[in-house]
């Protein structure tokens, strides 16, 4: 079946612009996660959804970051007033529920100039 | 808090040989899970293998095996019969199985494996 998909794959934004990154999880997966991967580093947790409920947003770096999953399927990560330090790959993952292995999408590479 | 340490920034192996990628961890959770992911240049994280802290036997999945030494807090990945397609970044990760955050993965910095023909 189809895996996790993310769009766009690449995004270049000027500093100060708002961006929206989309994640389509595997059908039927209840849990959805967002991670941020800086260059040369491992992914770091940003936020977690169980269906449409955002149960943990402790990893979001600032209040410029906002995530939603209004119908319990597709999720959007929004970054307002982008800064250079926001440049990273943003990975989305989904799992059947929180206890099972997480399946990752290909990521969105965000470059802020 | 959980921490994963991967001390090998890069590793080289000849095709068809075996290679071990090191991973040590630290956690206060009595129960936890350990994962290995492969990240090719395309960027997608591919799940390889899982080991539960209370599993009696070391996990194996095809050419991948996990050498789990609980007392040493190590969870090394062994890839047998390396193939050119194994060239990628490899990440060790862990998740606590108790408490209120038994879902988030903590990753190491990764090891870049290059398989030479």
Of B38, B89, B101, nearest to A47 (Cα)? B101
Give the residue-averaged pLDDT of B70-77. Answer: 96
With CB atoms and an 8 Å threshold, state whether A45 touches B104. Answer: yes
Q: Which of A44, A59, A91 sits opposite B45 (nearest CB)?
A: A91
Using 50, 70 and 90 to split pLDDT, how confident is the model at A8?
very high
Using 50, 70 and 90 to split pLDDT, how confident is the model at B3?
very high
Residue B99 has a pLDDT of 67
Rounded Cα gap, residues B103 and B57, in angstroms: 23
Where residue B62 falls (left for φ over 0; alpha for ψ -120 to 50; beta otherwise) is: left
Best to test chain B binding among A102, A106, A110, A111 (most B CBs inside 10 Å)? A102
With CB atoms and an 8 Å threshold, state whether A44 touches B101. Answer: no
With CB atoms and an 8 Å threshold, state whether A104 touches B44. Answer: yes
Q: For B77-113, write each residue's pLDDT tens digit.
A: 999 999 999 999 999 999 987 766 788 999 999 999 9
User: Mapped to the 3 state alphabet, what secondary structure does A69-80 carry?
Assistant: CCCCCCEEEEEC
Q: For A19-75, write each residue's pLDDT tens digit.
A: 999 999 999 999 999 999 999 999 999 999 999 999 999 999 999 999 999 999 999
Best to test chain B binding among A101, A105, A107 (most B CBs inside 10 Å)? A101
Rounded Cα gap, residues A33 and A16, in angstroms: 25
């Amino acid at each position: 079946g189809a895996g996790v998909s993310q769009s766009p794959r690449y995004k270049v934004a000027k500093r100060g612009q708002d961006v929206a990154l989309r994640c389509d999880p595997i059908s039927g997966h209840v849990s959805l996660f967002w991670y941020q991967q800086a260059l040369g580093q491992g992914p770091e947790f940003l936020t977690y959804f169980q269906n449409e409920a955002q149960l943990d947003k402790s990893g979001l770096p600032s209040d410029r970051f906002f995530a939603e999953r209004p119908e319990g399927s597709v999720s959007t990560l929004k970054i307002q007033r982008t800064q250079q330090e926001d440049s990273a790959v943003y990975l989305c993952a989904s799992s059947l529920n929180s206890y099972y292995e997480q399946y990752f999408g290909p990521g969105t590479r965000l470059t802020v100039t | 808090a959980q921490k994963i340490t991967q001390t090998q920034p890069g590793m080289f192996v000849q095709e068809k040989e075996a290679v071990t990628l090191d991973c040590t961890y630290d956690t206060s959770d009595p129960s936890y899970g350990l994962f290995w992911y492969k990240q090719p240049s395309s960027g997608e994280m591919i799940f390889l293998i899982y080991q539960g802290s209370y599993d009696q036997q070391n996990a194996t999945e095809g050419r991948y095996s996990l050498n789990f030494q609980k007392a040493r807090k190590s969870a090394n990945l062994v890839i047998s019969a390396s193939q050119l397609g194994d060239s990628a970044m490899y990440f060790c990760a862990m998740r606590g199985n108790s408490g209120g955050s038994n879902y988030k993965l903590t990753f190491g910095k990764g090891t870049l494996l290059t398989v030479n023909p």
